């Protein structure tokens, strides 16, 4: 069986821990511990708020930056730290 020596070749990478498969190019690829570090457990939720509250949240996002998740996390953590 011959190996292709093409700089554009790809191979399928199977991580050592459970997770998604990844595509690895000729160089580089996934490394243990690489990527964004987790801030906690991720759970998907659906949140219903009045339109005015969503507008205030969007205003805060545009003035402060960041993501909705970050802002909502800060609000919840602030509430529970009191």
Name the pLDDT band for 28 (thresholds 50, 70, 90): low
Condensed to tens digits (0 to 9), the pLDDT of residues 60-73 reads 999 988 889 898 99
- pLDDT tops 50 at residue 1: no
> If we measure between CA atoms, which residue out of 27, 32, 28, 29 comes closest to residue 17?
32
SS3 of 21-66: CEEEECCCCCCCCCCCCCCCCCCCCCCCCCHHHHHHHHHHHHHHCC
Q: What is the pTM of this model?
A: 0.52
Residue 12: its pLDDT value, please? 60
Name the pLDDT band for 82 (thresholds 50, 70, 90): confident
């Amino acid at each position: 069986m011959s190996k292709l020596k093409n700089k554009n070749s790809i191979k399928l990478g199977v991580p050592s821990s459970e997770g998604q498969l990844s595509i690895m190019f000729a160089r580089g690829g996934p490394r243990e511990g690489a990527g964004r570090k987790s801030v906690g457990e991720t759970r998907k939720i659906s949140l219903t708020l009045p339109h005015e509250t969503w507008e205030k949240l969007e205003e805060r996002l545009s003035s402060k930056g960041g993501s909705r998740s970050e802002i909502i996390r800060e609000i919840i953590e602030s509430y529970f730290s009191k």
